Amino acid sequence: MRPAVFLLAAIVLAGCGAFKGDVDKTAGWSAERLYKEAHSEVSDGNWKEARTHLEALESRYPFGGYAQQALIELAYVNWRDDEPEQALAAIDRFQQQYPNHEGTDYMLYLKGLITFTPPSAAFTKITRQDPSERDPKGLRESYEAFNELIKRYPDSRYTDDAKKRVAWLVSTLADNEVHVAQYYYERHAYLAAINRAQTVITDFQGVPAAEKALYIMYMSYDKLNMPELRDDAKRVLDKNFPNSKYYKQGLNEPKSAWNPMNWL
């Protein structure tokens, strides 16, 4: 019986040793210490450790200044650690809990940045795909966040950069509408093509894509045998874009030789 007792004792001791390894080293830490440690990990780029401390801070001390700052830091950490969904979730919690917080302008800016370059953009560095050809959902979310920042916080330190990004987003979203309009035109859905092209004219004034949008409208009205509307579209096209290139080249844009997909 004695060997069995020794064996049981050894198993118990081994189990105790295993439990010791699972002990939370941050147990009992103050909110201040958790935040300082998390901030230090952020400075060193240790996103996983920073996230652990910030999540502990948020759950243990849900009230007070450190909890508010923890959410801001948590959104940033998740963004830098390629966790956009978690970053957006942190921003949503922050906006719901602290709608008038002085850091709201930064959170709107960060939200715009997160959706400004969606994960699908990484492959386009190789294929040279036009961003406007991607799903515009992320681009629209980015536009809305930056636009809200510009309207609510015109004097924010982030507003100037947001304005530059909005200008790019407007142009890219207009390009997307033109891509869709061309898609419909090439499938003989001329009314749908006209509607999407018209969106570019009415919602994105002054963008380069307006030239192609007007040409699609001109061609679509011609296919529908609507000469008056066709001539109206042509008149606007000629006035704003004299000698438009689309009269010669048609709808298809020259493709980049750098895009491997073009070699297939």
Q: What is the pLDDT of residues 231-262, one digit of tens each?
A: 999 999 999 999 999 999 999 876 544 343 34
Task: Give me the pLDDT at residue 22, please.
Answer: 59
211, with CB counted inside 10 A (0-12, 13-18, 19+), is middle
Give the mean pLDDT of 206-218: 96
For 82-140, the pLDDT digits (tens) are 999 999 999 999 999 999 999 999 999 999 999 886 444 433 443 344 554 556 788 89
**Which residue, 142, 93, 86, 91, is CA-closest to 115?**
142
Is 93 in contact with 74 (CB distance < 8 Å)? no
Of 10-14, 32-36, 99-103, 134-138, the poorest mean pLDDT is in 10-14
The CATH superfamily of 30-101 is Tetratricopeptide repeat domain (1.25.40.10)
Secondary structure string (H, E, C) spanning the chain: CHHHHHHHHHHHHHHHHHHHHCCCCCCCCCHHHHHHHHHHHHHCCCHHHHHHHHHHHHHHCCCCHHHHHHHHHHHHHHHHCCCHHHHHHHHHHHHHHCCCCCCHHHHHHHHHHHHHCCCCHHHHHHHCCCHHHCCCHHHHHHHHHHHHHHHHCCCCCCHHHHHHHHHHHHHHHHHHHHHHHHHHHHCCCHHHHHHHHHHHHHHCCCCCCHHHHHHHHHHHHHHCCCHHHHHHHHHHHHHHCCCCCHHHHCCCCCCCCCCHHHHC
| pLDDT at residue number 10 | 47
Q: What is the pLDDT of residue 144?
A: 95
CA dist 8 and 130 (Å) reads 67
Lowest mean pLDDT: which of 2-11, 59-68, 82-91, 198-207? 2-11
Q: Is the pLDDT of residue 225 over 60?
A: yes
